Amino acid sequence: MIKKIIGFFLAMLVSLPLASCAAPPPTLVRELSADGHLKVSVEAEAVVLEQGGAYLVTTTYRGKELVKLLGVEEIYKTELTHERPIIGKEEIVIEILDPDLVVPDDISVPNWTYEVYGNPALISPVYVKADPINLVIDLPMSLVDHEFEDEGWGSSPNWNILSAKVNYILYEGSMIPQAKNYFLDSDCSERYHVRVWRCGDVLVGQAHIDTGLPHSAYAYEKAENMAVRAFSLHITRRNCIWLSNKCKDHKGYTNNGWASYITTYKYYL
């Protein structure tokens, strides 16, 4: 009996340090921001396949942090363009929407747009934070079409996924694809680009100047002002809705965090 009791205590002593070693090793330190974004260091690479005057651009993000966070070595997206894209490889930090985020449903206007990346091993796509929302438009889409067209902007309906210009917003717990694209040629072969989403009773927009592929939107404030100018017959308020999305684009221009508001014709007052 005494031997059994001594054996029991010896077994306990041996098992204690083993039990403490069984704790899972530390994984990626998740730097989760207040709005549910994770910062991830990646290597970004764009590869181009040219065919018949069109360019198929595959942008891939790779890195150890993606392995730890998502269980895959890379995520990627494919885009089709008719403009010769800029290609290359660079180390960057991206922000992705936390896949485990419990999405709040009390936000009336979203404040960021997202690009979608995929990998066959993933159940869900990865949403990478793209650009700040900077327009809130309280008008029917048909009237937005009309006013942009009157000012010389071109438009296109929603694109299929290979055509690539589809970005998303997070609204009431779902990722919503954009409804329309509007374009206006700028100087130096650049163009103004406004993406628009339906968002409950209003539309929201993201205006920027586009330098081509891979993703290179910049000058959000300048493009926001240019978009508002297309609505000169309407009541507009520049930079009046705080969306907490102040940031700098890759050329160093600041987005001030305030969206402009566009609503009914002036003569309705």
* Contacts of 2 by beta carbon, 8 Å cutoff, 6+ apart: none
Judged by beta carbon, residue 57 or residue 259, the one nearer Ca ion is 259
Judged by beta carbon, residue 119 or residue 239, the one nearer Ca ion is 239
Which listed range, 45-53, 55-63, 181-189, 255-263, lies at the site for Ca ion (CB under 5 A)? 255-263
Judged by beta carbon, residue 59 or residue 206, the one nearer Ca ion is 206
Decide if 178 contacts 193 (C-beta within 8 A): no
Contacts (CB under 5 A) with Ca ion, residues 109-138 = 134
Residues 207-246 vs Ca ion: string with x where CB under 5 A?
A: -----------------x--------------x-------
Least Å from the CB of residue 255 to Ca ion: 6
For residue 92, what are the β-bridge partners? Answer: 42
Least Å from the CB of residue 265 to Ca ion: 23
Least Å from the CB of residue 207 to Ca ion: 9
256 binds Ca ion (CB under 5 A): yes
109 CB burial (10 A radius; 0-12, 13-18, 19+): middle
Q: Where are the beta strands (DSSP E) in 52-160?
A: 54-62, 74-81, 88-97, 112-117, 126-132, 135-137, 154-157
Judged by beta carbon, residue 84 or residue 229, the one nearer Ca ion is 229
Least Å from the CB of residue 43 to Ca ion: 32
Q: Which of 127, 258, 261, 262 binds Ca ion (CB under 5 A)?
A: 258
Please, which contacts does 57-60 make with residues 24 or more away whose CB atoms are closer than 8 Å? 57/81, 57/85, 57/87, 57/164, 57/213, 57/214, 59/213, 59/214, 59/215
Judged by beta carbon, residue 134 or residue 167, the one nearer Ca ion is 134
Q: Binding residues for Ca ion, per CB under 5 A?
A: 134, 224, 239, 256, 258
